[in-house]
Structure 1
């Protein structure tokens, strides 16, 4: 989402979390008075601080074998996965977005308990899967609080690559009075209370049409738990790697304004799928003419329209569901992806040095990012490199043309709008920042250098 400072559904929902964190803080009367100046004497740091993030995933045959099977099995080979074996039973599902009720065979896989190295206030699950026509999956999370009690099983997403069987959807109105699911994010309602999530399990439910041998195949499932310090500003950093710029395709979301308004009012809100499509194509992912045949042939960059349609969350009513974008990218041969949080621009530099671009999520006033020309309550862009001086080179889809997408943003401004957890909006009210959220797409078989870079930022 871009344009004038205005609330997105995600930011409205997250405002409750920001309010709890802010406590009884009173917002100043004007944004100008409220926005704290960057300390002139901020001490540059070359090394990232300890990362308040735990990103864990199940990906190997041994990983899958460690879980509990109910109508599913682990599959070995070059692409280990979990899939339906002999179904555990059948169940009816009424799609809330079509009203259609259908019967499905199903099986479940439940992960072992993962104890978080960082007791978390937020958890975001993500998955990589193949869902042929006639199949879909549901991902759930159940956690244990720091007082020893458990959460309910929360639905983190119902997903299919296509649209012929169900409408992919998040699930609203999930809470136990202590934590809440905000679209794709588990969040402790009152972080100031000290309550944290100390461990969790994931449960995958795989569905297929009765009487067939079809099955979803899940290659990667995991979650990112975090407890990012409450902050309006972050310490300044200095460049840690030589300049490098990756050859990532450039796509503008703005040239799609008004196209397919049924998907979040058209291209003006398509920053997330546009960024996703850039990186998918950077890694060689391509859509066939048949896949794009539904797009009006007069539209430029039809693959962006396709990405918007197939990342669309019918409950959130938008294309910005983070795990759905990751799952979309992983439908392309040879790609995997995760939602995570990074701790510094040093982390981003490490990835860029290994040839891995990243999609970052940030919100800011127009005055806070020189050269952007807009303010936003939530926007995704693709970091593709760094200049010799350490400034950020980004493919910003909020640009009037594909040619204008490449931008250079000042290092200090970019790291602050991306890594902070709180900020003031145009009305001077305290709202939430993303605290370094990004998503990463990378090869299923990364090079040794890429493996080292991913491990350095907490992803395996």
Structure 2
């Protein structure tokens, strides 16, 4: 059984599936799950145990508003050991296409099934699918804010820029490692991450070996980058965390996680003038939301800073919401990483 929680007005629905530990040789397929609205994007995320030689393949099939079933689309092949760890390009047809980690519908879809095939003794720990339809609004409407005490989580800080030129075989550090740096920060916050004996290959002069380890463990060999959202969640799962990719609708929801003690990794894009204090422009960036000021502004660990000491930033609430939520950006994409069993804040259907 694969229950779904749906909110029509927000047009975001998250489905958490229970996959049997002993996935049959031919794979496991969920029941067809209604979404509750006409969705334009589907993003799965998972954690899995993949001993050497083991891997999983995750696929999605959807039903269009016309009632027709699409083909099965491969959403990722994953192994902790990197063979394989890849998205699959070139799947586009009249119904949609897979853009690295996201099924983008050319004809809106109203239901889906997910299929998991396990190879070599792999086991799936958690599996979820986020369905959404993001309004193509040029700007996001600021969320209401009621004055509250400041909150800030003690998330360790890593600068991606401190790794410029590192390991070109995994996209070369620096400007390309925002996601590994962010995941390494959150792992460290939860007291997780690679042990010292797993970092010997990095080198004694490295400013943050856990970031290099994350880049190696997340790297998508087809996309040739470390920004594959589900792969970041799956990497965190190797260290005992649960996690998922979804869309949040406002800073109110974001603040709910932080006040529950859970830092959130957010994806956003902006021109320099749109996010005062950033000092740079980006077509796509990842940072960790760690707190909120008493005035409601957003405290982040921004790995784009030149060094660890400059990673902590405070961005104005309305500016942050706009570049994070608007349709021309990520539309509110986040990944949430947390210990299993931890109580999450109340949801309106998107986690």
1:128 Cα deviation after fit? 1.1
Q: Deviations over 1:310-343 (max 9, x none)?
A: 000000000000000011111112x101000000
- Which residue number in structure 1 is paired with residue 96 of structure 2? 179
Q: Deviations over 1:158-196 (max 9, x none)?
A: 000113xx130000011122311111100123xxxxx31
Contact in 2 for aligned 1:202/1:222 (Cα 8 Å): no
Paired residues, what number? 344
Q: Deviations over 1:40-80 (max 9, x none)?
A: xxxxxxxx994210110113xxxx4xxxxxxxxx3xxxxxx
1:455 pairs, out of 327, 340, 347, with: 347
SS at match of 1:121: strand
Question: Closer, same or farther in 2 for the Cα pair 1:49/1:181, shift >3 Å?
Answer: closer
Contact in 1 for aligned 2:35/2:110 (Cα 8 Å): yes
SS at match of 1:133: coil
Contact in 2 for aligned 1:343/1:436 (Cα 8 Å): yes
Q: Deviations over 1:277-310 (max 9, x none)?
A: 1111111103112211111221111000000010
SS at match of 2:212: helix
Contact in 2 for aligned 1:351/1:454 (Cα 8 Å): no
- Which residue number in structure 2 is paired with residue 206 of structure 1? 118
In structure 1, what is the Cα distance between the partners aligned to 2:193 and 2:221?
A: 25
In structure 2, what is the Cα distance between the partners aligned to 1:386 and 1:457?
A: 24
Contact in 2 for aligned 1:151/1:176 (Cα 8 Å): no
Q: Deviations over 1:188-244 (max 9, x none)?
A: 23xxxxx31111111100001xxxxxx211121121000111111111223245321
1:445 equivalent in alignment to 2:341? yes
1:268 Cα deviation after fit? 2.1
2:39 pairs, out of 110, 113, 120, with: 120
Q: Deviations over 1:378-418 (max 9, x none)?
A: 00000000000000000000001111100000111100000
2:238 pairs, out of 304, 307, 331, with: 331
- Which residue number in structure 2 is paired with residue 140 of structure 1? 59
Q: Deviations over 1:63-110 (max 9, x none)?
A: x4xxxxxxxxx3xxxxxxx2346xx3xxxxxxxxxxxxxxxxxx4111
1:21-420 matches, within 5 Å, as 50-59=9-18, 64=19, 74=20, 82-84=21-23, 88=25, 107-163=26-82, 166-189=83-106, 195-208=107-120, 215-240=121-146, 241-333=148-240, 335-420=241-326
Contact in 2 for aligned 1:347/1:457 (Cα 8 Å): no
Bigger CA drift: 335-344 or 282-291? 282-291
Contact in 1 for aligned 2:12/2:349 (Cα 8 Å): no
SS at match of 1:379: strand
1:457 Cα deviation after fit? 6.3
SS at match of 2:168: coil
Question: Closer, same or farther in 2 for the Cα pair 1:317/1:331, shift >3 Å?
Answer: same
In structure 2, what is the Cα distance between the partners aligned to 1:456 and 1:201?
A: 22
What is the TM-score of this pair, normalised by structure 2? Answer: 0.94
Contact in 2 for aligned 1:145/1:199 (Cα 8 Å): yes
Structure 1 gap segments, 5+ residues each: 1-47, 65-73, 75-81, 89-106, 190-194, 209-214, 423-432
- Which residue number in structure 2 is paired with residue 9 of structure 1? none
In structure 2, what is the Cα distance between the partners aligned to 1:346 and 1:316?
A: 33
In structure 1, what is the Cα distance between the partners aligned to 2:144 and 2:309?
A: 29
- Which residue number in structure 2 is paired with residue 91 of structure 1? none
In structure 1, what is the Cα distance between the partners aligned to 2:8 and 2:289?
A: 21
Contact in 2 for aligned 1:271/1:397 (Cα 8 Å): yes
SS at match of 2:97: strand
Question: Closer, same or farther in 2 for the Cα pair 1:398/1:326, shift >3 Å?
Answer: same
Q: Note the aligned Cα RMSD (angstroms).
A: 1.6
2:331 pairs, out of 407, 421, 435, with: 435
Q: Deviations over 1:23-46 (max 9, x none)?
A: xxxxxxxxxxxxxxxxxxxxxxxx
Instruction: Compare CA radii of gyration and give the structure with the larger one.
Output: 1
